[in-house]
C-alpha cells in the first residue's frame, strides 16, 4: 500500500501515516487488523467498528476518486463495509484486511458507475501506446510544489475537473495506482483486463491529467499566481508562473 | 544509450521494471536532465492526485461517517438476528434429527391410513357424491309400527321422530274407497 510513501506532500490531513484514524473505542489502535478481524468473525461488534474507524476515510478517498460524488462515495463505503461484514467469515487473511476491503470498494464503485452512468465514457484506442509526439508525458505540472498547490482551491477544483474528464476506466486505474499504489498486475486482476491495457490506460490518464493541469499553469489567474508564490518570487519556477499571469492581484 | 522513453519512465516510476532495467534507467536519468524533469513531473502528479483525494476525504464531516456507521450497524444486527433464528432452528434440527425423522414417518403413516379409510368409507356410501343427502321431513318414509283393524277399512299407526319431537299418526283407509273417485 502507498500510504507510507517517501517524500509525500505535507498536507493538513487528519489521517495518520498508516491511513489509520485514532480510535477512542474499546479496542483502540493497539490491536492489529488480524486480531480485529478474528474478533469480528467471532461476533465482536466493537472490533468491526474499530476496523471501520481505521479505514473509512481511506475507503472513502478511493470511492470518491472513482464515483466523483460525495453522497455516492458514502453509499459505496457503507455498502462495502456491510458486504465486508457479511463475508468476513470467508476472509482467510491471505491479504491484509484493507487490501480485501479496497477490492470490495473498487468493485462497488465501478458497479455504481455502470449503473448510474453519470459520466459519459470516452475511451482512447487502448491498443496503441506510442511514445513521443502529442501523446508524450509533459515535463512539469505546477512548478514542483504540489503541497503548496493543494492549498489553492482553484487548483483543487481543476484537479476535480481533470479527474471528471477522464473515462471511467482511465480514472479507476489512475486512482488505484496513485492512491493505493497497486501494481499493474493487481490492477489487471481488479479490472479483468491485461497488464498492457492497464499500462495504456494509465499512460493516457496521466497524460490527460497533465494536459488539464498545465492549461491552468499556462494561463494562471492572478489569484492563483499569488497563492502559489505567496506574493514573493524567489523560485525560478514561480517567476516563470508569474510572467504568464495576466495581472497581479492586490490583496 | 540515450534518454529513457516515456513508457520506460512511467514503468520506472511505478516500480514495474526489474532490477537490472531499473538501474539502467537510473543511470540514464543521471545524464538526461529533461527526462529527469519528466520523471519528477510524474511523481508530482502522483502526489497531487493522492493528496487531493485524501483531502477530499478529510473534507467529509465526521457526522456523515457516524450516520453511515449507524446504518451499517443496523444492517449487521438485522442480519445477525435473522441468521440467529435460522441457526437456532437448524441447530435444533441437527440435535433432534432422529426424533424428527421418526415423527415425520409416523405422521405420514397415520395420514396415509386416514386417507385410505376415508376413501373406503366413501366408496360404500351413496354413489351420488356431492349431492345433498338430507330429505325434507314430509317426504320421509315413516316407520310403520303396527297395523290397526278398523270397521270397513284398515288403519296404520305410525310413530315419527323429527325436530319437533315424537309424533304418533293413526292413518285410516276406508274399504270402499275407489282410487280416483
Q: Is residue B41 part of a domain?
A: yes
Are A33-116 and A133-218 equal in CATH topology?
no
- The complex's ipTM works out to 0.72
Q: Is A7's pLDDT higher than 90?
A: no
CA-based nearest distance A141→chain B, Å: 6
Handedness of CA A90, A96, A102, A103 (dihedral sign): negative
Higher pLDDT, A66 or A122: A66
Contacts of B42 in chain A (CB under 8 A): 137, 206
Q: Is residue B97 part of a domain?
A: no
Q: Is A247's pLDDT higher than 50?
A: no
Domain boundary among the residues B14, B38, B59 is at B59
Q: Which helix (H) or strand (E) holds B147?
A: strand B144-150
pLDDT band at A136 (very low <50, low <70, confident <90, very high): low
Mean pLDDT of A129-158: 63
Tell me which of B46, B61, B71, B79 to substitute to probe the interface with A (most A C-beta atoms closer than 10 Å).
B46
Asked if residue B149 lies in contact with residue B127, where contact means CB atoms within 8 angstroms, the answer is no
d(CA A78, CA A59): 10
pLDDT band at A118 (very low <50, low <70, confident <90, very high): low
- CATH placement of domain A133-218: 1.10.10.10
pLDDT band at A15 (very low <50, low <70, confident <90, very high): very low
Contacts of B66 in chain A (CB under 8 A): none
Contacts of B10 in chain A (CB under 8 A): 137, 199, 202-203, 206
pLDDT band at A251 (very low <50, low <70, confident <90, very high): very low
Q: Is A135's pLDDT higher than 90?
A: no
Tell me which of B52, B75, B79 to substitute to probe the interface with A (most A C-beta atoms closer than 10 Å).
B52
Quickly count: other Cβ atoms within 10 Å of residue A248's Cβ. 12
Interchain proximity A15–B15, CB inside 8 Å: no
> Can you give the pLDDT at residue B100?
76
- Residue B101 contacts A where some CB pair is shorter than 8 Å: no
> Can you give the pLDDT at residue B2?
82
pLDDT band at A245 (very low <50, low <70, confident <90, very high): very low
Interchain proximity A150–B52, CB inside 8 Å: yes
> Can you give the pLDDT at residue B123?
52
What cell was used for A18? 498508516
Mean pLDDT of A8-26: 39
Show the DSSP H helices in A132-221 as ranges: 146-149, 153-165, 168-180, 184-191, 195-218
The residue with cell 503541497 is A147
pLDDT tens-digit profile of A89-104? Answer: 999 888 889 989 989 9
Residue ranges per domain, chain A? 33-116, 133-218
Averaged pLDDT, groups of 10, chain B, 181 residues long = 87 94 93 89 88 92 95 90 69 72 84 79 55 55 60 71 72 57 38
- CATH placement of domain A33-116: 1.10.1740.10
Interchain proximity A139–B65, CB inside 8 Å: no
Q: Is residue B39 part of a domain?
A: yes
> Can you give the pLDDT at residue A62?
95
d(CA A169, CA A166): 8
pLDDT tens-digit profile of A170-202? Answer: 999 999 999 989 999 988 988 889 999 999 999
pLDDT band at A28 (very low <50, low <70, confident <90, very high): low
pLDDT tens-digit profile of A213-230? Answer: 777 666 656 665 565 555
Q: Is A9's pLDDT higher than 50?
A: no
> Can you give the pLDDT at residue B86?
65
Contacts of B51 in chain A (CB under 8 A): 8-9, 11, 13, 146-147, 150
**Counted domains in chain B:** 2
pLDDT tens-digit profile of A200-212? Answer: 999 999 988 888 8
Range of the domain at B29: 6-59
Phi, psi of A118 (to 5 degrees): -75, -30
> Can you give the pLDDT at residue A246?
45
Q: Is A126's pLDDT higher than 70?
A: no
Per-residue b or e along A95-128, where b marks 16 or more CB atoms closer than 10 Å to that residue's CB: eebbebbbbbbbebbbebbeeeeebeeeebebee
Q: Is residue B114 part of a domain?
A: no
Q: Is residue B102 part of a domain?
A: no
The residue with cell 441468521 is B83
Amino acid at each position: 500500500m502507498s500510504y507510507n510513501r517517501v517524500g509525500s506532500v505535507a498536507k493538513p490531513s487528519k489521517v495518520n501515516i498508516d491511513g489509520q484514524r485514532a480510535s477512542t473505542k474499546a479496542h483502540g489502535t493497539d490491536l492489529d487488523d488480524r486480531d480485529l478481524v478474528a474478533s469480528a468473525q467471532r461476533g465482536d461488534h466493537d472490533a468491526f467498528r474499530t476496523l471501520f474507524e481505521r479505514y473509512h476515510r481511506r475507503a472513502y478517498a478511493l470511492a470518491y476518486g472513482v464515483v466523483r460524488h460525495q453522497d455516492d462515495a458514502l453509499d459505496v463505503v457503507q455498502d462495502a463495509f456491510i458486504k465486508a461484514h457479511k463475508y468476513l467469515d470467508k476472509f482467510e487473511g491471505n491479504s491484509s484486511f484493507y487490501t480485501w476491503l479496497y477490492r470490495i470498494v473498487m468493485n462497488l464503485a465501478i458497479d455504481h458507475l455502470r449503473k448510474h452512468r453519470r459520466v459519459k465514457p470516452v475511451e482512447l484506442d487502448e491498443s496503441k501506446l506510442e511514445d513521443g509526439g502529442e501523446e508524450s508525458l509533459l515535463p512539469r505540472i505546477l512548478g514542483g510544489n504540489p503541497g503548496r498547490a493543494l492549498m489553492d482551491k482553484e487548483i483543487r477544483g481543476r484537479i476535480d475537473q481533470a479527474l471528471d474528464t477522464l473515462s471511467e476506466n482511465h480514472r479507476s486505474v489512475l486512482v488505484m495506482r496513485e492512491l493505493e499504489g497497486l501494481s499493474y498486475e493487481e490492477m489487471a486482476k481488479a479490472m479483468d483486463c491485461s497488464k498492457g491495457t492497464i499500462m495504456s490506460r494509465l499512460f493516457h490518464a496521466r497524460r490527460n491529467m497533465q494536459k488539464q493541469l498545465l492549461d491552468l499553469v499556462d494561463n494562471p489567474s492572478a489569484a492563483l499566481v499569488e497563492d502559489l508564490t505567496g506574493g514573493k518570487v524567489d523560485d525560478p519556477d514561480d517567476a516563470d508562473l508569474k510572467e504568464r499571469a495576466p495581472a497581479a492581484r492586490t490583496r | 544509450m540515450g534518454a529513457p522513453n516515456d513508457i520506460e519512465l512511467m514503468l520506472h516510476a511505478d516500480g514495474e521494471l526489474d532490477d537490472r532495467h531499473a538501474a539502467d534507467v537510473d543511470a540514464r536519468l543521471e545524464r538526461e536532465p529533461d527526462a529527469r524533469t519528466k520523471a519528477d513531473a510524474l511523481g508530482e502528479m502522483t502526489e497531487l492526485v493522492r493528496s487531493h483525494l485524501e483531502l477530499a476525504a478529510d473534507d467529509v464531516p465526521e457526522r456523515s461517517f457516524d450516520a453511515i456507521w449507524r446504518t451499517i450497524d443496523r444492517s449487521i444486527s438485522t442480519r445477525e438476528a435473522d441468521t440467529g433464528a435460522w441457526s437456532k432452528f437448524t441447530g435444533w434440527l441437527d440435535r433432534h434429527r432422529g426424533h424428527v425423522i421418526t415423527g415425520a414417518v409416523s405422521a405420514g403413516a397415520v395420514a396415509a391410513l386416514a386417507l385410505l379409510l376415508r376413501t373406503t368409507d366413501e366408496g360404500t356410501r351413496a354413489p351420488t357424491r356431492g349431492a345433498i343427502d338430507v330429505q325434507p321431513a314430509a317426504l320421509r318414509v315413516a316407520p310403520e309400527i303396527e297395523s290397526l283393524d278398523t270397521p270397513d277399512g284398515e288403519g296404520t299407526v305410525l310413530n315419527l321422530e323429527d325436530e319437533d319431537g315424537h309424533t304418533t299418526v293413526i292413518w285410516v283407509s276406508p274399504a270402499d274407497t275407489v282410487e280416483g273417485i
